[in-house]
Structure 1
């Protein structure tokens, strides 16, 4: 027996309250089992609550884009969420206003066209207006980053917190996406590295997968969307007063400090 609408709404209220109040909760699946499709129903209801104010959707984000991460958390495909205007950070990382944030480097694509399914990698590349460097500051609404299932992560809008979009815009034809590398330094010391091929072999392939998967929910990628292709580097705990530099080989860099 699936979740009732009242259960979906109750879970969405719980996660939205934790998102607003920064008071983490117990993972939903500890008391109730639910499917991946039901997890996306909860996520959609959470996003509806986020959008109830003066806020707009600016794009999508991918997660669990490597097979290793999928196996670790028990799902056979990537996951995705929605990013909104209020997720964009302009200034230092406000650690006291977040729930144990973690930092990841990501390759971002800004779309120049709608992408109705079916979507190919070529479709993604020809429809990309620009590549941008992105730093995501993920945070879980679950206590102590306890995430027993992929469904919990999905319901929590794939741990969406804040993001910083770099100022550099690069033409996709100027970048070899599978070989695009990144280095993350903390206070001048290298702490994480990554390469585009870690994102399903090619970040554009991950976006194509997302375009097809969204069709299952009667949605699609749209012109102007920022698509975050998933963590290309290991997630690092953010500590106050630390200085972070995320430097890609070709698409630019982002510098930020934690308060």
Structure 2
């Protein structure tokens, strides 16, 4: 069975892959395999819905021995409502991020002001998960890429429009679990500013003849080191942006 078939099967309830199943020698080959997985999902009515950006902080890059971020495809069923079942995952984590909602196609030469004019920004929660066993923080970079940058689910809060890059700088988020403070994070950990991460994604996609289309969602990078997902009510309060919740049952 090919690595694409194994990843596809694992995503649909099949056995998790062993980390010895490599499947690609370079990141370029890994991105090609990721696209093959997305194409297989699209055939069954689970189309591409956007992208997530991973390894956007020095700390997370150090965990995996990376020197730049990675991106992965979000599928239609990656977009969750405010209740998720923990048993639907393999080995899930939790992160909090800003979600960029793409209202108009973004071109590779768009500047930062134009990008912001074409998007709305929402508070978000991401639940990373992998189709590999015992994956965090042990996967090779090519495995992360093949596995859609360990895309699990994202929860998107109410979006705002008209925000500037300066308003995204030095944003604090307070994350609680069952009303108890879990962690505090800051947007400066996302490549200095989440808009920088989105611009990186636009350029990276362009190198692979892809772009951000209207209707897509971009999960722009975590404000915190990921923590294991537990049952309970998570709430993320983003300074100047808003609040988002997810209940894990």
Q: Using the TM superposition, name which of 141-150 and 10-19 deviates more.
A: 141-150
Q: Which residue of 2 aligns with 1:13?
A: 5
Corresponding position: 1:57 with 2:48 = yes
| Structure 1 residue 139 corresponds to structure 2 residue 126 | no
- 1:127 counterpart residue number: 118
2:32 maps to 1:41? yes
Aligned with 1:247 (options 220, 237, 243): 237
Secondary structure in structure 2 of the residue aligned to 1:108: strand
In structure 1, the partner of 2:221 is 230
CA distance in 1 between counterparts of 2:160 and 2:42 reads 28
Q: 2:67 aligns with which of 37, 62, 76?
A: 76
Say which of 85, 89, 99 aligns to 2:80.
89
Q: How far apart are residue 124 of structure 1 and its match?
A: 2.1
User: Between Structure 1 and Structure 2, which shows a larger proportion of strand residues?
Assistant: 2
Mark the CA change 1:31 to 1:114 in structure 2 (over 3 Å): closer, same or farther: closer
Residues of 1 paired with 2:34 and 2:210: CA distance?
14
1:137–1:244 CA distance, 2 compared to 1 (3 A) = same
**How many matched pairs?**
248
Q: CA deviation at 1:105?
A: 0.5
Provide the alpha-carbon RMSD of the alignment: 2.0
Name whichever of 225-234 and 151-160 sits farther off: 225-234
Structure 2: tracts of 5 or more residues without a match: none
1:166-181 paired onto structure 2 within 5 Å: 166-173=157-164, 176-181=167-172
Q: What TM-score, normalized by structure 2, do the two folds share?
A: 0.92
Choose from 209, 218, 222 the match for 1:218.
209
Deviations 1:170-200 (A, max 9, x none): 4314971012221111122211221111111
Change (3 A) 1:105 1:31: closer
Q: Is the 8 A contact 1:119 1:211 kept in 2?
A: no
Q: Per the alignment, in what secondary structure is the counterpart of residue 145 of structure 1?
A: coil
Give the stretch that moved more between structures: 114-123 or 248-257. Answer: 114-123
Q: Distance in 1 between matches of 2:11 and 2:24?
A: 22
Q: Could you say which residue in structure 1 is the equivalent of 2:145?
A: 154
Give the Cα separation in 2 of the matches to 1:213 and 1:135: 23
**Are 1:103 and 2:127 counterparts?**
no
Residue 201 of structure 1: CA displacement? 0.9
